[in-house]
Amino acid sequence: MTAQLLAKNQEHTVEIIDLNHEGSGVAKIEGYSVFIPGVLQGEIARIKLIKVGKKFGFGRLIYLEKTSNHRTEPPCVVYDKCGGCQLQHLAYDAQLVYKQNQVAQVMKRIAKLDVPVLQTVGMEEPFRYRNKAQVPVGYVHHKLVAGFYQKRSHQIIDMDTCLIQSKANDDGVQIARSIFEKYGVVPYDEEQHQGDLRHIMTRVSFATGELMLVIITRKASFPFKEQIIKELEQTIPNLVSIVQNVNPHKTNVIFGEKTQVLAGDEYLVDTIHGIRFVISARSFYQVNPVQTEKLYQLVLDKAELTGEEIVFDAYCGIGSISLCLAKQAKHVYGVEVISEAIADALLNAHENHFTNVTFETGKAENVIPNWYKKRIKADVLVVDPPRKGCDEKLLETILTMKPKRVVYVSCDPATLARDMRILVNGGYQAGEVQPVDMFPMTTHVECVTVLEINNEN
């Protein structure tokens, strides 16, 4: 059967042969690929085609004729609606295998490398792990709600709890929501570009239990501002900071440029590997502190520092990896494009009495070539780029500078594979890839690998 003979609303019985990178089941109808959310490999499903394209289509599950031994009942009551998690119906040990297989497939397909992909490093308790909640607010049935968007839409789901969030974040968001509702604050309408309250964000320190509340508004002023601040302080447990960010633009970008402290501290304090980190409202900080400890230990192990090395940390954020490296390196140079993050990194270095670190604001692909021109050369280079991977100019500098070892931390296996191929072509030898489950119940996977210069080239 060809795509021309398939049509929307047709029903078919199919076998699920795989899961794709989005967690959807993959089925074949006489060679034509169909993707179906909510099904698992090995299951037999009755489906309805909801979209038929030239090369592949999408289906909706009607019922299962055969279920997988790895299927489990999702504990979240809004799992079938919410777009935050994709894998709650898959047993956790099978989630770890799925992520290992996804990374292995990408290494072969994109990197064209036959490198070992190790078993995924998982969690003992794969729920309640997130230290940051960032949720939009809106009206649902004339009620002010704060929750996540429904799958493939901007419709907010009315929810009281999220099982991958810390309980403190859940409580902080819902208490804040109820107070704003009490005072009649109008949520932001992105179509009309009207209203006051856009997002509520909470951050909790797993080390201290203290909480930061960030409110993102369209304007600096909003009704009953002083009364709301006072009631938030009195009502939310362990609240040490209330921050307001103003975003006046018609955009789906969450943060605007202006941030001010309304009450309490400017920073939250957390601890990784015995190092105290101050975290401001807009700082990038890993959201899973339990797995971050494991991730950073892997980075240290793969860096193989003896205390004599110069280390570059590209995309250094608030200096969390940099300072862990500085405990074992001669000197660490960190670069980050966000100036507020560099300010936090400098403060973190000062607070922890590090004197062997240097931080600079700018794009890694611009700053690191300048360091190299100044004859500052890395023995070890650590990269932890955004999902788009390393900039081409940075990769060119790595191949020119030839640090002995490149430790690559990645949140996107596809761009990791692409960059590994470039570095291998330039004379590096790829090592094993270690997946780390930073985001249980979702399809996301973090990876750590090391590439070493091939001295024979």
As a whole number of angstroms, the distance between CA 128 and CA 440 comes to 10
CB 140 within 8 A of CB 156: yes
As a whole number of angstroms, the distance between CA 444 and CA 129 comes to 14
As a whole number of angstroms, the distance between CA 359 and CA 337 comes to 11
CB 355 within 8 A of CB 332: no
CA distances from residue 206 to 81, 135, 271, 289 in whole angstroms, order as listed: 29, 20, 8, 7
Q: Which helix H or strand E contains 100, and what residues bound it?
A: helix 92-106
How many CB atoms are located within 10 Å of the residue 299 CB? Answer: 19
As a whole number of angstroms, the distance between CA 324 and CA 185 comes to 43
Instruction: Name the DSSP class of 108.
Output: I
How many CB atoms are located within 10 Å of the residue 250 CB? Answer: 11
**Side by side, which strands form the sheet with 239-246?**
143-146, 132-140, 197-204, 211-217, 239-246, 258-264
Beta 239-246 vs 211-217: how paired, if at all? parallel
As a whole number of angstroms, the distance between CA 370 and CA 16 comes to 52
In total, the chain counts a number of residues equal to 457
Q: Which pair of tokens denotes residue 134?
A: 């960032």
User: DSSP 3-state assignment of 446?
Assistant: strand
Q: Which pair of tokens denotes residue 350?
A: 């000062």
Choosing from 82, 85, 411, 447, the catalytic residue is 411
As a whole number of angstroms, the distance between CA 259 and CA 93 comes to 42
H runs (alpha helix) in 283-410: 289-303, 320-326, 339-351, 364-373, 392-401
Whether 411 is catalytic is: yes
CB 331 within 8 A of CB 310: yes
Which parts of 265-404 are beta strand (E)? 268-272, 275-279, 310-314, 331-336, 357-361, 380-383
Active-site annotation, residues: 411
